[in-house]
């Protein structure tokens, strides 16, 4: 008899308000409530908030936070230029370098103060961007924890650019902020969780629960008061947001505890942190495909631009591309297909060219091109923007993949390869999971300059959809035991 699937709830705080002095002690209030119910949150903290806690003599707050899961939430969060402003014109590789240059100081401070590498990272406001992912790998941050409507895969955890994402729960996302202003807010929250739970209880799943602690005392977000419309304010000019009435603040804490109690009452519910998620959804150390899997892989990516599940693993189109090219390259060298392939996942292309030139190619030239492509992926770590075949054809990677899969299927069937092959038309993988409308909405965040636009960010997000794949539970054990 198998265990009933669990519904995992990840509770996270963004500890970020370094303007409101009275916000300093709020984590301690929240921890006192959570400790009574044996619930551990993930605390994403802004480096400037750490500096302010030190200045204000609140080592007690720093010590309290250090007992829980600690994530990184940028150096200054909303001061300009924000993420979108300084990443607007770059690709993911140049953007990652810029992110490292601007964020390394804050990252190192949080790492040093809490004596560990942060468990996760998340963006400010709604401005999710793909550029940070290569930097997170370099920093050793394994999880992206936040919420976005821009990128979504079935409202559940997923992998993107090689990083585990608790980001894009959408229908399974509950935000506690300001709900307590409504005397009936707790009833609505319970009703929402009950609906989510009913949807997930059969097969299990994950639920995201967010509380910006400062909203318990502030009626507005601190950064929208001080950094709106692309403008910075000097520290001496910072304004505290208007204050919640005392009865609303009291209701906030009462409702928070009541919600935690209610969620905990479901027998199949388990609260997890970002660190827990990194274990629950950890990838196999490596995925090896043999002849049977290679045949399946060639068939799938020959007609599909989506990920592929093989057993307890998932392969992104980028991983499928690598495996196919690896097989093609070895055949070009030896005349034989490999008995097994250890699959690697590269980044998606950082730019994109359209296919051009002849549709008809010699198989000999196509095989030779596979060797060149493999060498490029191995050395550069991302898919090429186009693949040159002979001196007469350029193939976009999404056209190259189905073409290569058709040839590979022929080789697997041990048929003699044809002298010529024709370029097939594919489509850019998984772009349907990237919402242009929600990206446009994110660009209207009150902190950004008026009429802000950054089409390059959206382009890069779609290009990296090559790496998108579901996160699969690998250790569904009771972490509280």
Give residue-wise pLDDT tens across range 353-394. 999 999 999 999 999 999 999 999 999 999 999 999 999 999
pLDDT of 116:
97
What was the pLDDT predicted at 283?
Answer: 86
For the cut 80, the answer to whether the pLDDT of residue 476 exceeds it is no
89-105 residues labelled b (16+ CB within 10 A) or e (exposed):
ebbbbebbebbbebbee
Bridge-based pairing state of the strands 163-167 and 158-160: antiparallel
Q: Quote the strand ranges of 281-362, DSSP E.
A: 287-289, 308-310, 313-315, 341-343, 356-357, 360-362
Q: Name the average pLDDT for the chain.
A: 96
CA dist., res. 129 & res. 95, Å (int): 10
- The confidence score (pLDDT) of residue 285 equals 66
Tell me how far apart the alpha carbons of residues 101 and 462 are, in angstroms, rounded to a whole number: 25
Question: In 303-390, where do the E strands start and end?
Answer: 308-310, 313-315, 341-343, 356-357, 360-362, 387-389
Average pLDDT over residues 36-42: 98
Cα–Cα distance between 9 and 20 in angstroms, integer? 29
As a whole number, mean pLDDT of residues 324-350 equals 96
Q: Is the pTM of this model over 0.85?
A: yes
The angle subtended at Cα 135 by Cα 12 and Cα 81, nearest 5°, is 80
What structural domains and CATH numbers belong to the chain?
7-282+434-470 (3.20.20.370), 287-315+317-428 (no CATH)
**Residue found under tokens 């003699």:** 416
As a whole number, mean pLDDT of residues 44-65 equals 98
Confidence category of residue 475, pLDDT binned at 50, 70, 90: low
Q: What pLDDT, on the 0 to 100 scale, is given for residue 477?
A: 45
Beta carbons within 10 angstroms of residue 60's beta carbon: 13
> What six digits make up the tokens of 144?
């992206």
The rounded distance, in Å, linking the Cα atoms of 24 and 22 is: 5
The yes-or-no verdict on residue 58 having pLDDT over 90 is yes
d(CA 225, CA 241): 6
Q: What is the pLDDT of residues 131-146, one digit of tens each?
A: 999 999 999 999 999 9
Residue 193 to residue 206: CA distance in whole angstroms: 12
Residues 6+ apart with CB under 8 A from 122: 12, 14, 44, 71, 73, 144, 145, 146, 167
Residue 166's DSSP bridge partners are 145
Strand order in the sheet with 356-357: 356-357, 393-395, 387-389
């Amino acid at each position: 008899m198998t265990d009933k699937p669990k519904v995992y709830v990840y509770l996270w705080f963004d500890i970020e308000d370094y303007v409101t002095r009275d916000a300093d002690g709020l984590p301690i209030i929240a921890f006192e409530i959570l400790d009574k119910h044996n619930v551990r949150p993930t605390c994403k903290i802004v480096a400037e908030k750490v500096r302010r806690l030190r200045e204000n003599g609140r080592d007690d707050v720093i010590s309290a936070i250090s007992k829980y899961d600690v994530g990184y939430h940028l150096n200054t969060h909303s001061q300009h230029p924000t993420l979108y402003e300084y990443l607007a014109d770059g690709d993911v590789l140049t953007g990652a370098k810029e992110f490292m240059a601007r964020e390394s100081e804050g990252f190192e401070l949080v790492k040093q103060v809490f004596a560990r590498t942060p468990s996760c990272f998340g963006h400010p406001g709604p401005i999710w961007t793909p550029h940070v992912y290569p930097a997170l790998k370099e920093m050793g941050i394994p999880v992206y924890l936040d919420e976005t409507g821009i990128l979504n895969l079935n409202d559940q955890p997923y992998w993107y650019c090689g990083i585990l994402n608790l980001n894009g729960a959408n229908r399974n996302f509950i935000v506690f902020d300001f709900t307590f202003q409504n005397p009936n807010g707790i009833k609505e929250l319970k009703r929402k969780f009950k609906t989510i739970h009913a949807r997930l209880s059969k097969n299990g799943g994950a639920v995201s629960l967010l509380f910006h602690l400062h909203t318990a005392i502030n009626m507005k977000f601190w950064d929208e008061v001080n950094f709106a419309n692309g403008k910075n304010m000097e520290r001496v000019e910072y304004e505290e947001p208007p204050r919640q009435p005392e009865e609303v603040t009291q209701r906030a804490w009462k409702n928070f505890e009541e919600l935690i109690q209610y969620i905990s009452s479901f027998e199949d519910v388990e609260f997890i942190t970002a660190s827990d998620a990194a274990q629950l959804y950890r990838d196999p150390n490596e995925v090896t495909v043999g002849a049977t899997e290679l045949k399946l892989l060639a068939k799938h990516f020959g007609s599909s631009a989506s990920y592929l599940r093989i057993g307890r693993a998932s392969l992104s189109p980028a991983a499928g591309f690598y495996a196919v090219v690896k097989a093609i390259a070895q055949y070009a060298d030896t005349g034989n297909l490999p008995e097994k392939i250890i699959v690697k996942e590269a980044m998606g292309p950082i730019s994109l060219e359209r296919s051009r030139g002849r549709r008809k190619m010699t198989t000999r030239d196509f095989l030779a091109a596979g060797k060149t492509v493999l060498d490029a992926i191995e050395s550069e770590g991302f898919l090429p923007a186009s693949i040159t075949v002979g001196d007469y054809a350029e193939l976009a990677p999404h056209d190259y993949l189905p073409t290569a899969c058709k040839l590979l299927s022929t080789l697997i069937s041990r048929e003699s390869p044809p002298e010529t092959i024709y370029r097939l038309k594919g489509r850019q993988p998984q772009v349907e999971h990237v919402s242009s409308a929600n990206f446009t909405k994110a660009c209207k965040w009150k902190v950004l300059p008026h009429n802000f636009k950054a089409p390059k960010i959206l382009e890069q997000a779609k290009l990296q959809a090559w790496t998108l794949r579901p996160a699969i539970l690998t250790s569904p054990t009771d972490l509280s035991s």
